Chain A
Amino acid sequence: MRPVAVIGIGKTPFGVFPDRDIRDLAVDSGQKALANARLDPGQVEAFYLGNFAGPSFVGQSHLAPYIAGPMGITGVPCTRVEAACASSGSAFFHAFSAVAAGLYDVALVTGVEKMTSQQTPRVAEILAMAGECCTEGKAGATFPALFAMIARRHMFQYGTTREHLAAVAVKNHANGAKNPDAHMRKVITLEQALAGKPIAEPLTVYDCSLVSDGAASIVLAPLDRAREWTDKPVRVLGIAQTSDFVALDRKEDITVFEAVRTAAGKAYQMAGVGPNDIQLAEVHDCFTIAEIVAIEDLGFVSKGHGGPYTAEGCTELTGPRPVNTSGGLKAKGHPVGATGVAQLCDIVLQIRGEAGERQVSRHDIGLAQNLGGSGASAVVTILAAA
């Protein structure tokens, strides 16, 4: 297996864009990533698309070539990868594997979701299809409900509080306010977060990520050729994708994302680093509780201490370990299929020192954690300055 580097990134802003369709968003981000790597579309040897529910949200299937064609990419393998909210993290994993194996030298990965053309109850229904439809779905579960049940149990076992959850939202909104591409650039207070409208108790609207439109793209190449296309290559130091049961009731302890633990263990081993070496991270805060569980499962803090660690400010931009400097899914937005690649783009920006107002001081090595469903898919990627 040969070393692989990121040579280009490109994103659309995340938000509500009634005038932009799924293809327009995806093509825009792809063209930006190719321009960032000074590449022509004809040089792309494989295209991977991460997308969760395009057929349900916009009524279009066969999405990979549908998007690649107008980008100027034809005659090469174009593959859509679906792993719920981990769709594009997973697409990135498969692109990495192919480049590392020597199948291709230049691979483009795009993640996209167009969600806002549907009304909220229909969006909830489509998202719920990432759960176990024959039990959870039939009982009327929503994704907020599944994570609310995780939150309740975490509170019961470890004493996590509503204030701890709200601290995640307050921090991520503060970071999002500094991100020009974020869906919601609005600072919120702890009081506001605590007084939010209930969605699935104990979660309020401020505990939930946003329903957004958006796309993100990233270009991979072998490390030994990376400087042909970029002055700032970022090496993929470690990466792993793992899985677990889809149904929450099949998990022994729902306060743990076992797939995240195993993916993190493998990624750390591959990278030859440990949790204490990670200087910054983008984690999958689809709900505030998910960020707390993630930082525990990644080993940043011991089990049950994610809430206090966050409330003490340890994960703020100026804290010892900044988490979700982009604003996270909470404030940057969560166009489901775009999220995994967007997280990686944000880590690359930080490592290159191009993150503007939200740039952190230690930025040589960062981690991205992308979660699918209520923990059935997980991808953990460690990136470092090359």
Chain B
Amino acid sequence: MKGTVYTETLIHSAPEAFVSEAPYQLIIVTLENGERVTGRVSGDRVSIDDAVILADERNGVPFFRKIS
């Protein structure tokens, strides 16, 4: 599953259950079919308009990786 980054943020101040993971990047991706999904990033930080691919799914949350 591929798409482009619609928007992103790097979270420093996390909710209780995610404190140990901070800082982490949260993104909204526009998929090739036009749908949008909220997910996380594995690997390098991404910016708006970067091409990304689904790399992993953890606990129902999609993790995307930058396509270089």
Contacts and interface: CB of A to CB of B under 8 A. Distances in A.
6 contacts: A124-B14, A139-B38, A142-B15, A144-B11, A145-B26, A152-B7
A198 interface: yes
Contact of A200 (B9, B36, B39, B60): B9
A200 B12 contact: yes
Interface in A237-255: 247-250, 254
Interface in B1-34: 6-19, 21, 24, 26-28
A292 to B, nearest CB: 16
A2 interface: no
A22 B2 CA distance: 48
Contact of A248 (B11, B13, B28): B28
Contacts of B67: none
B9 A145 contact: yes
Given A152-B8, A156-B48, A144 B13 contact: yes
Contacts of B11: 140-142, 144-145, 148, 200
A327 to B, nearest CB: 22
A125 B12 CA distance: 14
**For the side of the interface on A, what is the size category?**
20 to 34
A138 B62 CA distance: 10
Contact of B12 (A138, A149, A199): A199
A120 interface: yes
Given A145-B9, A254-B7, A121 B16 contact: yes
**For the side of the interface on B, what is the size category?**
20 to 34
Contacts, number: 93
A361 interface: no
Interface string A26-51: 00000000000000000000000000
A135 interface: yes
B37 interface: yes
A141 B26 contact: yes
B12 A201 contact: yes
Given A140-B21, A247-B38, A153 B12 contact: no
A121 B6 CA distance: 27
Given A122-B16, A125-B16, A153 B9 contact: no
Given A140-B21, A145-B26, A152-B7, A200 B38 contact: no
A121 B61 contact: no
Contact of A152 (B16, B48, B59): B48
A95 B45 CA distance: 48
Q: Which 10 A-B pairs have the closest CB atoms?
A: A148-B9, A121-B16, A140-B18, A249-B36, A125-B15, A149-B7, A201-B10, A153-B7, A124-B15, A199-B13
